[in-house]
């Protein structure tokens, strides 16, 4: 099963943090819905899921499998709660998925990167500068750099540019 990390970066290279005053662009959201529908699933961290729910719910994802990672969260109807990135992948693999879509937030993206569980990254560069402090990191202890292969590059509209890389494990 292939794993794709889908994330939005700011124009100054930070990990984008949306909020009521700075919502994600509709173009990036539409692209996320397309990726989730194509994969048939998405994996999400507990805090991002709660933000989605407080903002009116994760929206209309139909038959898409939603996998929530949390060390402590109780069961949630319509959502599979797992305790680790590896457990999320095992669950989706056993359900027959060919692709797993890792949708964030920062802790979840970094946990998958640190554990070497990402095959491809889809990065949307949003036309915004943010003076906040989150980053996508692999593992500062063991990686000085890692070359990746550019698979594609396209504008999504609204000033968003999408970059698609293969990481190679
Ligand atoms: N740029 C983007 O593409 C993007 C996408 C989504 C969200 N965001 C932004 O990211 C921020 C939220 O991200 P976040 O890092 O605060 O939270 P998050 O990654 O959504 O969720 C963190 C929670 O996930 C669980 N978790 C994380 N790693 C785990 C592991 N290895 N094993 C088991 N459970 C694990 C823990 O839940 P428990 O505490 O319940 O154990 C942890 O508190 C927001 O600012 C949001 O706007 C950005």
Closest CA to ligand 1's atom 12:
105
- pLDDT, residue 164, reads 98
Cβ atoms 165, 152 nearer than 8 A: no
Side-by-side strand order, sheet with 120-126:
80-82, 65-69, 41-45, 99-102, 2-10, 120-126, 160-166, 149-157
DSSP annotation of 98 reads: S
- pLDDT, residue 60, reads 65
Ranges in the chain, pLDDT < 70: 55-60, 140-142, 169
Q: Is the CB of 84 under 6 A from ligand 1?
A: yes
* CATH number of 93's domain: 3.40.430.10
- pLDDT, residue 59, reads 63
Rounded Cα gap, residues 122 and 163, in angstroms: 6
In-domain check, residue 83: yes
In-domain check, residue 46: yes
In-domain check, residue 167: no
Structural domain for 80, as ranges: 2-154
Number of domains in the chain: 1
Closest CA to ligand 1's atom 35:
70
In-domain check, residue 159: no
- pTM for this prediction: 0.95
Render pLDDT for 60-101 as a digit per residue (tens, 0 to 9): 677 899 999 999 999 999 999 999 999 999 999 999 999 999
Rounded Cα gap, residues 41 and 56, in angstroms: 19
């Amino acid at each position: 099963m292939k794993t794709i990390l889908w994330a939005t970066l700011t124009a100054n290279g930070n990990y984008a943090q949306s909020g009521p005053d700075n919502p994600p662009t509709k173009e990036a959201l539409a692209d996320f819905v397309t990726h989730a529908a194509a994969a048939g699933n998405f994996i999400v961290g507990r805090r991002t899921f709660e933000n989605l729910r407080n903002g009116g719910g994760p929206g209309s994802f139909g038959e898409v499998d939603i996998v929530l990672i949390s060390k402590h969260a109780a069961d949630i109807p319509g959502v599979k709660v797992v305790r680790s990135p590896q457990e999320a992948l095992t669950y989706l693999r056993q359900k027959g998925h060919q692709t797993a879509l890792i949708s964030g937030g920062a802790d979840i993206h970094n946990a998958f990167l640190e554990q070497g569980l990402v095959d491809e990254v889809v990065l949307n560069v949003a036309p915004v500068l943010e003076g906040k402090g989150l980053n996508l990191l692999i593992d500062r202890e063991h990686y000085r750099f890692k070359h990746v292969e550019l698979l594609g590059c396209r504008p999504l509209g609204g000033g968003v540019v999408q970059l698609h890389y293969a990481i190679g494990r």
